[in-house]
Amino acid sequence: MAAHPGSNGSKAKAAKLRVFRGTAAGGDFQNYEVETYPGMVVLDAIHDIQAKQSPDLAVRWNCKAGRCGSCSAEVNGKPRLMCMTRMSAYPEGEPITVTPMRAFPIIKDLVTDVSWNFEMAKKIPPFKPRPRDADGNWRMQQIDIDRIQEFRKCIECFLCQNVCHVVRDHQKKEVFSGPRFLIHLATLDMHPLDTLDRREMVKRDFGVGFCNITKCCTEVCPEHITITDNGIIPLKERIADDHYDPVRWLLRKVAGKPRAHKVPAQPTEAGKTADISGRHRVDGGNGKGELER
């Protein structure tokens, strides 16, 4: 076998892992031991187990560089990207426990069914820009987009969704979009070019009112997006004031320069949204994108 990345002469140490193995029907922890090497992250350990001990261990990952947001799980009970979590951050000799995200149904081992997030994304009416400037450009000052560029760093790891108590309360999943999509709505609301007024929807369909600013989402965000302070609270405030003063809202929205009028958003046209299947389908192509749960 080829040289393992760790076999660079240094003495190998062993680490213990307790990994959840099972499906929606039930499961249990399994103990593993792996050799560690410099810089090793939890995802490396899981891959090592896959390669040498349990080839059918299920884990989701893509980039191993903290950029795709696929490898979300809970490490010792804390929501983490496994590829950005160093083994050396945990006390030597004590087992590291790796479990799937709690808020989503388990598919197998560390893989959960996150399709609810994709359903939620579809419900948000898309960006609708005002016309271009005369020369075909759209001028925006960097300072006016700094904040929304922060939100657009989101890698859709759904760790914030996983910790939010409103999302965990499954009853509310129908009427609350979770922090990830509240910051997406905030992005659209603050986008200097967008012309659609989604305020009613933010309250009615995406449940901004359910958020009671615990800031758990901000704490776990691997992109360090200040979800609550910069996104959700301003969104709440805008909706509250603007309820009384729409002119003020419009002025603020376009950074002091009134431009096009916002038009109220309609629920997205039926049949125009994508039908996203992450699991084998049972809907027989009815175009509604019902997912098996």
- Given candidates 99, 115, 228, 230, which one binds ligand SF4 under the rule CB under 6 A? 228
**Number of chain residues interacting with ligand FES (CB under 6 A):** 12
- Given candidates 103, 225, 239, 291, which one binds ligand SF4 under the rule CB under 6 A? 225
Structure tokens at 152: 């657009």
Structure tokens at 185: 């709505």
Q: Which residue has the tokens 């038009």?
A: 263
Residues with Cβ within 8 Å of residue 144, at least 6 apart in sequence: 192, 255
x/- track of binding to ligand SF4 for residues 156-195 (CB under 6 A): xxxxx--xx-x------------xx--x------------
Name the one range near ligand FES by CB under 6 A: 55-63, 193-201, 225-233, 256-264: 55-63
Q: Kindly report the CA angle at 206 between 127 and 271, in degrees rounded to 5?
A: 55
246 binds, among ligand FES, ligand SF4, other proteins, none (CB under 5 to 8 A by kind): none
Q: Which is nearer to ligand FES, 36 or 70 (CB)?
A: 70
- Given candidates 173, 180, 191, 198, which one binds other proteins under the rule CB under 8 A? 191
Amino acid identity at 226? T
Instruction: Decide if residue 40 touches ligand FES (CB under 6 A).
Output: no
Q: What stretches of 52-128 adopt beta strand conformation (E)?
A: 72-75, 78-81, 96-99, 106-108, 111-112
- Given candidates 26, 31, 91, 142, which one binds other proteins under the rule CB under 8 A? 142
Instruction: Decide if residue 50 touches other proteins (CB under 8 A).
Output: yes
Distance of closest approach, residue 175 Cβ to ligand SF4, in angstroms: 13
- Given candidates 12, 14, 33, 67, which one binds other proteins under the rule CB under 8 A? 67
Residues recorded for the chain: 293
**CA-to-CA separations, 67 to 72, 73, 172, 180, 186, in angstroms, rounded:** 12, 15, 29, 16, 22
Residues 72-101 that bind other proteins (CB under 8 A): 84, 86
User: Which H/E stretch holds residue 160?
Assistant: helix 159-163
264: β partners: 197
Using the Cα atoms of residue 60, residue 61, residue 66 and residue 69 in order, give the sign of their dihedral. Answer: negative
- Residues 244-278 as b/e (b if ≥16 CB within 10 A, e otherwise) read eeeeebbeebbeeeeeeebeebeeeeeeebeeeee
Name the one range near ligand FES by CB under 6 A: 56-64, 133-141, 194-202, 255-263: 56-64
Tell me phi and psi for residue 172, to 5 degrees.
-90, -5
Residues 69-98 that bind ligand FES (CB under 6 A): 69-71, 81, 83
Instruction: Decide if residue 203 touches other proteins (CB under 8 A).
Output: no
231 binds, among other proteins, ligand SF4, ligand FES, none (CB under 5 to 8 A by kind): none
Q: Which residues in this chain contact ligand SF4 in the complex, by CB under 6 A?
A: 69, 154-160, 163-164, 166, 179-180, 183, 211-217, 220-223, 225, 227-228, 232
